[in-house]
Structure 1
Amino acid sequence: MNKAIGIFFFLISGLVLSAFAQDQKPNIVLILADDLGFADLSLNGSLQIQTPNIDALAKEGVNFQHAYVSAPVCSPSRAGLLTGINQVRFGYDNNLGNNQPGFDPEFAGLSVEQKTLGDRLKEAGYVTGLIGKWHLGTRDQFHPINRGFDEFWGYVGGGHHYFKSEENGKGYLVPIESNYKTPQPITYLTDDKGDECVDFIKRHKDEPFFLFASFNAPHSPLQATEEDLGLFEHIQDSNRRTYLAMVHRLDQNVGKILRALQSEGLEENTIVVFLSDNGGPVDSNASLNAPFNGQKGILLEGGIRVPFIMKWKGYLPEGESYPHPVIALDLMPTFLDLAGVASKASDQFDGVNLMPYLTKKRSDIPHESFKWRFTISAGIFEDHWKLIQLPDRLPMLFNLQNDISEQNDVALENVELTKKLMKKLGDWNLSLPHPLFLEGAEWKVRQRDLYDKRYEINQPQNK
């Protein structure tokens, strides 16, 4: 009799533990690279660099083959990513820089009316941490600690020196901030960020956490360790050599984060996402976006199409390539679903929850179309067609199904389709509010001229 009672209680306790495991909210780790070229991962065919840790994520998870961000530069892209709303819908269609005459600097940042991933996940019971770059406003009301993040170690601007800061430094030499410790002196910033991410994981391993690992690599300035430069001494172009060394160090620190999750026994209860905030700025950091045309700052594929990987061991398919178009805006509703928070119509998200598509509960596609607006340019993607408007020329139309590198403008060959897409894009454009701030006017001509440059659309040899 006692033995039967023991077996009964053993079975009941097992069911309770099983139910607890099912109800447990998964940890979320979002790893964001900065200005990473699409082509500069061995996963995407690079012959010049091996990125085994990022590649491993794709081998053990889902690699999105057709992934976009909502803007071709850092700050508005991050505003969309962290809200799930196309940032131009709340006046954020310029990069964040010095305040321009006629604009109120109190509005130069991520609108306080918008909730962030940090806000929403904190409300859902997560401890939230941001390690690294913010670039969504420097005033107090925009500070990460006031935008849903319990812990912050990093800097609020758009970039930083990789080897040092100064006590009263400005620009890329500002001191590192932290609200939970006295920041240690910088060794190499990418390594320091990786170490802080590992520390966050270890300190919060017993509670649901959201870690935003916001790297600035391989954003300028081009600075790498001598050890890493030695790995690429055969690369003739010195800027390219330094850039690849920076990507290598980024990959090493992605591995550091993944190993921490494994060693703490968290791998099966953590979803990990990796992506870049925009395409590589070929003209400034020697990156490469092949096979895509264009670069950071413009709406050709090279500016907005990015590496995007999602892994959740035991829950998502392993080694799957997802072919349908997705966008970084999808992360907000996806993460909320994982946290047990139902999205509401009042959220007005432009992204969708990707989990039903990845787990095969839905067989349709997540998106029929996307729209972009960035300073002087606007674009629309629908079916396999992409139209881009600029102020000094006829619209450009590309068939991405057979012209992935956007080499053949076929607008005049498809006039009715061009008109249809222009109408849709124009109606959307007219529905948007005025920008809350502007970047310097000198950027308008620079961005226009980037459309006229020739870009490498083939992988270079290992030299």
Structure 2
Amino acid sequence: MDFKTLVGLSGLSCCCFLHSAAQENTLMQRPNFILIVADDLGYGDLGFTGSTQIKTPNIDRLAANGAVFSQGYVSAPVCSPSRAGILTGRNQVSFGHDNNIGGSQPGFDEAFLGLPLSEKTIADRLHTLGYVNGLVGKWHLGDQPHFHPLKRGFDEFWGYTGGGHDYFASEPDGRGYKSPIECNYKEPSAITYITDDKGTECVDFIGRHKDDPFFLFASFNAPHTPMQATKADLELYQHIENKKRRTYCAMVHRLDVNVGRIMDAVEANGLADNTLIVFISDNGGPTNSNASINAPFNGQKGILLEGGIRTPFIMNWKNTIPEGTVSADPVISLDLAPTFFELAGGKTKEEDQFDGVNLLPYIKGEIDGKPHDSFNWRFTISAVIREGDWKLIRLPDRFPVLYNLKEDLSEQHDLAPENIEKTKALLKKLGAWDLAQPHPVFLEGAEWRANQLNLYDRTYQLSQPE
């Protein structure tokens, strides 16, 4: 019943009663949100993105029944800053979270080694709107108590605060990849295979909170190193000679199985019509460490070529997002937080300073045009501006390079020498944006900068294996 009808009814008590009922109905209809984030997944390693080796029927089904963004980006080419952008809806450079978390360098205060407390997460925002928020898996936004996910808007946490974990084991007093699993709502069981364990916890969360509006951050570490797969999954890919590639394929297969379990749990609990499911990776695949393939894109994790920042990007909402939607408009992971917030009933204000936008009106054709005209990136030694189809990359030891992505998807032809005015104009815009950003609140080690520069000179596989 619409508001005008209510106003037109006579009788104050009747009006108040119906208005209250309408409010309750609106509250009940607020969508649930499930954000599934893979870790270090190669763009070309899913069926719907062209893989000829890895079978991913569940993720492919999620894509076929929803919207796929062929130009979907993340805001950083490595884990921690990318996740900071995803959860805040703000370019993490704008609040000093430029670098990956891997220790504090001399001259920096370790108390700031995490997602700055000045920033609200989407869990913070949804909490104020009455949502139950759960994080299953990887955090990587600060180990110290004041950065803990339970202090950043999440009501439930099963996982680990670091950047990765062993797939088969943890130790009571373990550190790093052998750290114990934390859980605030039960005594966690021993790890079986952590990708499966995360799937189990996600299914459990959905079942326990099916009557509440909820946000589930399904934060997988697959297929991030260490390269560990189950024996059964390895046997599925025994025909692949390269051992690392074989293990990687098996790990992606197991990720797909658990995405399917999450999807089935949504259906089984009668939530499909009221649940928005998003699937992305936190960055491109690190081809040099996990044998991923980012084809047809050049580059990898750690650098700002397309292979480092363009990822699979799916939004699925039964009977709301039309099945089979394919959008070629550039979008970015920063769009997810404002999308969730506004769909939950939040009102975006200027002081929220979102760098993303609510994507749903664009998907449904309610707003004409593209969500974004340009993007900026900065990560350690490199910075990028994309404006329309033009993309300029600035590096410290060479002239800037310029690509036209519409004509050169794999970034093979530097057009800067023959487009000097375009290069100068984009370089000036990028420089003005860069100078307006604050100083990083922490820095990763200098050895990573040299490594990242070297990654720009590698040759990358641009096609699927035969």
TM-score, normalization: structure 1? 0.95
Instruction: Letter of the 2:48 partner, please give it.
Output: L
1:125 is the counterpart of 2:133? no
Match of 1:365 in 2: 370
What is the DSSP-based 3-state SS (H/G/I as helix, E as strand, rest coil) of the residue aligned with 1:245? helix
Match of 1:149 in 2: 154
Instruction: Letter of the 1:60 partner, please give it.
Output: N
CA drift at 1:19 = 7.8
What is the DSSP-based 3-state SS (H/G/I as helix, E as strand, rest coil) of the residue aligned with 1:191? helix
Match of 2:248 in 1: 243
Distance, in Å, in 2 between the alignment partners of 1:185 and 1:120 is 33
Distance, in Å, in 1 between the alignment partners of 2:130 and 2:124 is 10
1:187 is the counterpart of 2:192? yes
Q: How does 1:38-49 map to 2 (within 5 A)?
A: 38-49=43-54
Match of 1:382 in 2: 387
What is the DSSP-based 3-state SS (H/G/I as helix, E as strand, rest coil) of the residue aligned with 1:136? coil
Match of 2:396 in 1: 391
Assess, with a 3 A threshold, how the Cα gap between structure 1 residues 55 and 14 changes in structure 2: closer, same or farther: farther
What is the DSSP-based 3-state SS (H/G/I as helix, E as strand, rest coil) of the residue aligned with 2:216? strand
1:53 is the counterpart of 2:58? yes
What is the DSSP-based 3-state SS (H/G/I as helix, E as strand, rest coil) of the residue aligned with 1:412? helix
Distance, in Å, in 2 between the alignment partners of 1:14 and 1:259 is 36
1:112 is the counterpart of 2:124? no
Query: Could you report, residue by residue, the CA deviation over 1:210-244 in whole angstroms, capped at 9, with x for unpaired residues?
Result: 00000000000000000000000000100000000
Q: How does 1:46-85 map to 2 (within 5 A)?
A: 46-85=51-90
Distance, in Å, in 1 between the alignment partners of 2:95 and 2:24 is 40
1:332 is the counterpart of 2:332? no
Match of 1:228 in 2: 233
Match of 1:3 in 2: none
Q: How does 1:285-300 map to 2 (within 5 A)?
A: 285-300=290-305
1:317 is the counterpart of 2:322? yes
Instruction: Letter of the 2:451 partner, please give it.
Output: R
What is the DSSP-based 3-state SS (H/G/I as helix, E as strand, rest coil) of the residue aligned with 2:302? coil
CA drift at 1:294 = 0.1
CA drift at 1:123 = 0.7
Distance, in Å, in 2 between the alignment partners of 1:245 and 1:17 is 50
What is the DSSP-based 3-state SS (H/G/I as helix, E as strand, rest coil) of the residue aligned with 2:227? coil
What is the DSSP-based 3-state SS (H/G/I as helix, E as strand, rest coil) of the residue aligned with 2:304? coil
Match of 1:440 in 2: 445
Which of 413, 418, 426 matches 2:423?
A: 418
CA drift at 1:170 = 1.0
Consecutive unaligned residues in structure 1, runs of 5 or more? 1-12
CA drift at 1:167 = 1.1
CA drift at 1:14 = 12
Match of 2:209 in 1: 204
Query: Could you report, residue by residue, the CA deviation over 1:286-328 in whole angstroms, capped at 9, with x for unpaired residues?
Result: 0000000000000000000000000110111111101100000
Consecutive unaligned residues in structure 2, runs of 5 or more? 1-16
Query: Could you report, residue by residue, the CA deviation over 1:405-453 in whole angstroms, capped at 9, with x for unpaired residues?
Result: 0000111110000000000000000001110000011011100000000
CA drift at 1:342 = 1.1
CA drift at 1:18 = 8.6
What is the DSSP-based 3-state SS (H/G/I as helix, E as strand, rest coil) of the residue aligned with 2:417? coil
What is the DSSP-based 3-state SS (H/G/I as helix, E as strand, rest coil) of the residue aligned with 2:409? coil
1:158 is the counterpart of 2:163? yes
CA drift at 1:16 = 9.9
Which of 406, 429, 432 matches 1:427?
A: 432
Distance, in Å, in 2 between the alignment partners of 1:15 and 1:92 is 45
Instruction: Letter of the 2:139 partner, please give it.
Output: W
Instruction: Letter of the 1:119 partner, please give it.
Output: D
Distance, in Å, in 2 between the alignment partners of 1:109 and 1:132 is 17
CA drift at 1:21 = 5.0
CA drift at 1:363 = 1.5
CA drift at 1:145 = 0.2
1:409 is the counterpart of 2:414? yes
Q: How does 1:338-357 map to 2 (within 5 A)?
A: 338-357=343-362
CA drift at 1:28 = 0.5
